[in-house]
């Protein structure tokens, strides 16, 4: 069988491959046939990721009882340690935050953050972390220049042999070019061009381009281009791209991706005008947080440690530990995974959303910090836990705030959608090549109807 696209999601433990054709109805409307999916263990640690890719393709062939060929193969990856990034800026709540938001939204894993002039101990930490990329920010445009230049000199002298992204004061560009002569340097628009203005999208685009160029250098990934002839993106960055695409279709949303090792939250919303007037620091329209300690298999111990008697109900922690499985099938295993998934959702959304405080400076009123989700219309579930466990919708409904007071949580009118075909990462990387087909893939998987669309 010949298919138009084969899209691989290469995880730290499992590789998922989705195969599908692009079709058109009688009026020329694009849609996607029912996708086939195959699984295999990821083989990065074997020194060759294509072994796992071929095994996942073979899984599809076993299902359809015939060989499969494809026109184009795309991939997303969180294997080989994911996209490890260190971020170095001027002020923690200004340029550092802006660079960090850009890195997270592109699918990065933030391993280190510094504010102000770096020290020798910081350079040692970078060597120990062995990141895939370093981001240097600092200063609004035509503002403070010295810190970013100082940090650039220190970093350049180390000859890290990895991409360096400069996204600070635009006045420094010529000096930055000279400092990093002979090294892989990307000069882009300032992520914090003026006070209270975030400009993270140009940085996200360049981070993903640098990732695609350099992923072939990661251990076990050197042969990936033997099979993949299209785009490669970090898996969380691909989910963010799908989230932004869905925003254009159905409006304000939040996406929860509960996995075996981490729980990611992606939100695309401006928030309400009420909260915006109280907000102390700006937030990006598209925001991602990654909870590296919250997972329902690899990091299940961390979630179990967070459980209290109300979470456990009639169960015990010993029962949960006994029934943790990478792919739960028995009734007891499913119950244990659901309980962990429910807790991971609650903690992850609590860390993602902002909060409102009363002012105590003599003036009456309130101030707000962080991301406002109160205008969210749809709560979307993706990832293995929420797409494969039964009744994932009920778990997501519980994050809504059901009272009438001002809140930064999704309100009681928010509806739940489930990525039934588990293709949000797939659609995200596909959107770089064919946005219309990616939209069709999302609409089918989330069962979006015409009355839900905003235009």
pLDDT at 148: 97
Q: Tell me: do 208 and 263 sit in the same domain.
A: no
pLDDT at 131: 93
| Mean pLDDT value of segment 398-418 | 93
Which of 180, 197, 226 lies at the terminal end of a domain, its last residue? 226
Block residue for tokens 């340029």: 95
Q: Tell me: do 7 and 130 sit in the same domain.
A: no
Residue, of 403 and 27, whose pLDDT is higher: 403
pLDDT at 437: 93
pLDDT at 29: 83
Q: Tell me: do 297 and 365 sit in the same domain.
A: yes
Decide if 252 is inside a domain: yes
Is the pLDDT assigned to residue 112 strictly greater than 80? Answer: yes
pLDDT at 80: 67
Q: Strand pairing partners for 257?
A: 264, 382
Decide if 231 is inside a domain: no
Condensed to tens digits (0 to 9), the pLDDT of residues 48-57 reads 999 999 999 9
Is the pLDDT assigned to residue 396 strictly greater than 80? Answer: yes
Q: Poorest-confidence range of 42-46, 171-175, 418-422?
A: 42-46
Is the pLDDT assigned to residue 81 strictly greater than 80? Answer: no
Cβ-in-10-Å burial (0-12, 13-18, 19+) of 414 comes to buried
User: Which secondary-structure segment (H or E) carries 152?
Assistant: helix 146-157
pLDDT at 364: 67
Is the pLDDT assigned to residue 79 strictly greater than 80? Answer: no
The two beta strands, 164-166 and 185-187, are parallel
| Mean pLDDT value of segment 166-191 | 96
Q: Tell me: do 76 and 89 sit in the same domain.
A: no
Full-model pTM: 0.90
pLDDT at 86: 96
Q: Tell me: do 183 and 268 sit in the same domain.
A: no
pLDDT class of 12 with cuts at 50, 70, 90:
confident
pLDDT at 160: 95
Give me the percent of the chain exceeding a pLDDT of 90.
Answer: 72
Q: Tell me: do 28 and 9 sit in the same domain.
A: yes
Q: Tell me: do 76 and 141 sit in the same domain.
A: no
Is the pLDDT assigned to residue 194 strictly greater than 90? Answer: yes
Q: Tell me: do 365 and 427 sit in the same domain.
A: yes
Decide if 254 is inside a domain: yes
pLDDT at 423: 93
pLDDT at 329: 85
The domain of 213 spans: 83-217
The mean predicted confidence, pLDDT, of the chain is 92
Which of 226, 257, 273 lies at the terminal end of a domain, its last residue? 226
Residue, of 361 and 35, whose pLDDT is higher: 35
Condensed to tens digits (0 to 9), the pLDDT of residues 215-270 reads 888 888 889 999 999 999 999 999 999 999 999 999 999 999 998 888 999 999 99
Q: Tell me: do 315 and 378 sit in the same domain.
A: yes
| Mean pLDDT value of segment 291-307 | 91
Is the pLDDT assigned to residue 345 strictly greater than 70? Answer: yes
Q: Tell me: do 194 and 90 sit in the same domain.
A: yes
Q: Tell me: do 311 and 418 sit in the same domain.
A: yes
CATH number of the domain residue 181 falls in:
3.40.50.2300
pLDDT at 215: 86
CATH number of the domain residue 67 falls in:
3.30.420
pLDDT at 361: 66
List, edge to edge, every strand of the sheet that includes 36-41.
Answer: 36-41, 14-20, 2-10, 69-77, 232-234
Cβ-in-10-Å burial (0-12, 13-18, 19+) of 252 comes to buried
212: nearest Cα among 361, 429, 435, 440: 429
Q: How many structural domains compose the chain?
A: 3
Q: Tell me: do 315 and 282 sit in the same domain.
A: yes
Condensed to tens digits (0 to 9), the pLDDT of residues 128-162 reads 999 999 999 999 999 999 999 999 999 999 999 99
| Mean pLDDT value of segment 99-127 | 94
Q: Are 168 and 190 in contact (CB under 8 A)?
A: yes
């Amino acid at each position: 069988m010949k298919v138009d696209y084969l899209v691989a999601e290469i995880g730290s433990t499992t590789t998922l491959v989705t195969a599908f054709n692009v079709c058109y109805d009688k009026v020329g409307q694009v849609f996607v046939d029912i996708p086939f999916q195959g699984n295999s263990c990821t083989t990065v640690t074997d020194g060759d990721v294509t072994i796992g890719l071929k095994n996942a393709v073979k899984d599809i062939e076993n299902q359809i009882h015939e060989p499969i060929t494809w026109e184009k193969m795309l991939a997303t990856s969180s294997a080989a340690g994911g996209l490890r990034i260190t971020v170095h800026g001027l002020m923690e709540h200004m340029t550092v935050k802006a660079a960090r938001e850009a890195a997270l939204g592109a699918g990065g894993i933030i391993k280190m953050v510094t504010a102000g002039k770096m020290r020798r101990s910081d350079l040692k930490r970078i060597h120990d972390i062995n990141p895939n990329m370093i981001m240097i920010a600092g200063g609004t445009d035509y503002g403070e220049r010295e810190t970013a230049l100082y940090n650039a000199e220190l970093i350049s002298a180390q000859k890290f042999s990895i991409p360096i992204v400069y996204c600070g004061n635009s006045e420094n560009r010529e000096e930055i070019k000279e400092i990093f002569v002979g090294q892989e340097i990307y000069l882009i628009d300032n992520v914090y061009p003026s006070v209270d203005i975030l400009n993270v999208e140009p940085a996200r685009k360049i981070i993903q381009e640098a990732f695609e160029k350099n992923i072939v250098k990661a251990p076990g990934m050197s042969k990936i281009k033997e099979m993949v002839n299209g785009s490669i993106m970090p898996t969380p960055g691909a989910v963010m791209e799908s989230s932004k695409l869905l925003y254009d279709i159905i409006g304000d949303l939040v996406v929860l991706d509960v996995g075996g090792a981490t729980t990611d939250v992606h939100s695309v919303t401006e928030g309400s005008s009420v909260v915006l007037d109280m907000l102390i620091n700006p937030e990006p329209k598209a925001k991602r947080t990654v909870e590296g300690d919250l997972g329902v298999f690899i990091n299940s111990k961390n979630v179990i440690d967070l459980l209290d008697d109300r979470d456990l109900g009639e169960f015990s922690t010993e029962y949960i530990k006994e029934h943790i499985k990478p792919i739960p099938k028995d009734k007891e295993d499913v119950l244990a995974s659901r309980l962990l998934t429910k807790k991971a959702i609650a903690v992850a959304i609590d860390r993602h959303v902002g909060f409102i405080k009363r002012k105590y400076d003599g003036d009456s009123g309130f101030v707000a910090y962080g991301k406002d989700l109160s205008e969210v219309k749809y709560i979307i579930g993706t990832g293995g836990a929420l797409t494969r466990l039964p009744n994932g919708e009920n778990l997501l409904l519980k994050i809504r705030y059901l009272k009438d007071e001002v809140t930064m949580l999704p309100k009681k009118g928010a509806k739940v959608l489930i990525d039934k075909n588990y293709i949000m990462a797939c659609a995200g990387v596909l959107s770089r090549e064919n946005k219309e087909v990616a939209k069709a893939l999302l609409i089918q998987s989330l069962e979006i109807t015409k009355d839900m669309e905003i235009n």
